[in-house]
Homo-oligomer: A and B are copies of this chain.
Amino acid sequence: MIELPFALSEYRARLQAIRAEMARRNLDLLVVNDVANQHYITGYDGWSFYTPQVVLVPLVDEEPVWIGRAMDAAGGLLTAWMKPENIVGFPEDHVQRADRHPMDWIAAWISRKGWGGGNIGIELEAYYYSPKAHARLTAGLPNATFHDADLLVNWIRSVKSPAEVDYLRKASRLAEAAVRAAYDAIAPGVRECDAIARIQAAQVAGAPDFAGDITALPPTILAGENASAPHVMWSDRRFGENETVALELAGVVRRYTAGLARTLQLGRMPAKVSDTSRAVLEGMEAVLASIRPGVTAEAVEASWRRVIERHGLKKESRIGYSIGVAYPPDWGEHTISLRPGDTTVLKPGNVLHSILGMWMDGWGIEVSETILVTETGCETLTSFPRDIHVKA
């Protein structure tokens, strides 16, 4: 058994919160397809979600059940807290075949267990849960009524416990180490791929007393002609003499992710970069001054918008989101977004990654912080000089 990241009491509290919401919605069973939610509930951890994988949470007081590929049940026994009988493998002869589907088998298992009727809540927009899987599951459970339960667990995840915040603090240390590694590695003539190798090494090797995990998004380096395109990947391109390099990095410990974006200027800082950076840094101050319990997500965004409008700038996309447990392809929790129209009222224990990215024509700046909402205001978990780092 690999050591669980949390005490069993913490998993029980999570289940209790999930069941309270299930009861409120009159759900008898929750089918959890989101890999991060599966981990949050069970501790299960493995790179096995390329075949169908579900966690079942009954409203009744029984253990959740993990079902995945037979080969990966061994990993379930090592990583999840439930009894062995609640780690279930579908047969290997159901993997990626045209004539049968793992969800046929899983539906039959649910029926045999006596959970195939009543109201079933299910996550309909989880990564790795396909329309075909859903069609086969619902066809196999004709006596159930299905209800969209997207984000039910995610909203519970949006308030972090002290133990979760501890992991996010550790993750922040690794995010800082990743930015330091980038500042060290990036120089004119160096290839992007060589810089990424050093950044990832810092992320993964971790600290002397804990490991780093894979980041849900790979390191992003935006420079040169790619600078205006926020999610283009690295190549063997070499950094130029006077490039502005935007870095969107993270640190991850036991799947808990802290994001940290910074900008590096090689050579001399052009006036437009320094002008924009002043606006962005002032905007971050406004964001941090506005975050406290009772404030809405959109009010935080408005505080940023007021600053950059004064500087004559505009940004269409949101400036932050809830962050926590994360598996590829995304480290956002898909709940709170710092943008107009999001009237979520912030609570102590929320953790937000506020990322102020200005992607201009041919260059860009990014600055972010991972921010804990405290009882009285907020605290930046990431701690790293915020100014654009000039490397002459």
Contacts and interface: CB of A to CB of B under 8 A. Distances in A.
A47 B134 CA distance: 25
A112 to B, nearest CB: 22
B233 A214 contact: yes
A2 B226 contact: yes
Copies of this chain present in the complex amount to 2
Nearest to A212: B193
A100 B47 CA distance: 31
Contacts of A77: 229
Interface in A195-229: 196-198, 200-202, 204-206, 209-214, 217-218, 220, 225-226, 228-229
Interface stretch (A123-131, A260-268, A276-284): A123-131
Contact of A232 (B75, B95, B211): B75
A225 B131 contact: no
A211 B236 contact: yes
Contact of A74 (B97, B135, B228): B228
Interface string A325-337: 0001110101001
In this complex, which of A95, A214, A229 has the most chain B Cβ atoms within 10 angstroms of its Cβ? A229
A317 interface: yes
B231 A48 contact: yes
B130 A316 contact: no
Given A96-B334, A191-B211, A204-B200, A230 B72 contact: yes
Contact of A128 (B48, B97, B127, B339): B127
B127 A127 contact: yes
Interface residues of A, number: 81
A202 to B, nearest CB: 8
A72 B231 contact: yes
A46 B231 contact: yes
A318 interface: yes
A172 interface: no
A170 B218 CA distance: 22
A38 to B, nearest CB: 14
A384 interface: no
Contacts of A212: 193
19 contacts: A1-B225, A2-B235, A45-B233, A46-B233, A47-B217, A47-B218, A71-B317, A72-B230, A74-B228, A74-B359, A75-B229, A93-B316, A93-B339, A95-B317, A125-B131, A129-B131, A193-B211, A204-B234, A213-B233
Given A50-B217, A95-B317, 17 more contacts: A45-B233, A46-B229, A47-B218, A72-B229, A74-B359, A77-B229, A96-B332, A124-B132, A124-B135, A125-B131, A131-B134, A193-B206, A193-B211, A196-B204, A201-B201, A214-B218, A328-B329
Interface of A: 1-2, 45-50, 70-72, 74-75, 77-79, 92-93, 95-97, 124-135, 148, 150, 191-194, 196-198, 200-202, 204-206, 209-214, 217-218, 220, 225-226, 228-236, 316-318, 321, 328-330, 332, 334, 337, 339, 341, 359
